[in-house]
Amino acid sequence: MIKSMKVEFISNLEPWGEYDQVLVAQGDVSDSEVVASVSVVDSAFVARVDILASAGKSCFRSLRSVGSTIYIGFGRFVFVVDVYRSLVRRYPLSGYFGHLYDSHDLEHLDSHISVLASSASEVLAFDRTGDLIWKQSDLGIDGVVLQRASTGQIDGEGEWDPPGGWQPFTLRSDSGSII
């Protein structure tokens, strides 16, 4: 198991030295133009994940790592990468990617949830292996932010009337259903 993995966005224009593997994250249609890259470094190897233009334009981007699983929010997708198994899964979003959250961001996040992702209108919950637990849509039209977690629930706001027309919501952490 990885003890300390370092992940960060890097310039895809800089020459890249030696790496053990290159994984590709793409959107709906293959496009070979690399628009962003993520470096992955642990004590055993160095890898790179290239994000292709077909993932969409990105105002926001974010990374989280849990064990050997990396979560990348970019464009219109959340990419879940297992670097040891050279596996990239992609989860399309309704609209643009917004934010990634973990227990460092939401202090009392229930332990079965590893990472939460928000988009322009929805929230997705993932477990420690990167599997999607649930997805809740129609929480806003121009942004969803999460503010706090407590046992059994997650509180946030969705923007329904931009700019500034935010409405609160509460989700059940086990199912994502609106309370």
Mean pLDDT computed over 68-82: 94
What whole-number distance in Å separates Cα of residue 104 and Cα of residue 91? Answer: 23
Is residue 86 located within the same domain as residue 107?
A: no
Is residue 112 located within the same domain as residue 179?
A: yes
Q: What is the total count of domains within the chain? A: 2
Point out the domain boundary residue: 50, 66, 92: 92
With tokens 């670097």, the residue in question is: 83
DSSP designation for 39: E
Whole-structure pTM value: 0.92
Is residue 125 located within the same domain as residue 179?
A: yes
Is residue 55 located within the same domain as residue 121?
A: no
Answer yes or no: are the C-beta atoms of 33 and 60 closer than 8 Å: no
Is residue 100 located within the same domain as residue 53?
A: no
pLDDT per residue over 6-42, tens digit each?
Answer: 999 998 666 666 677 778 888 887 777 889 999 998 8
Nearest to 38 by CA among 24, 49, 53: 49
| Tokens representing residue 145 in the block | 């932010």
Domain of 12, in residue numbers: 1-92
Amino acid at 153: Q
Is residue 146 located within the same domain as residue 177?
A: yes
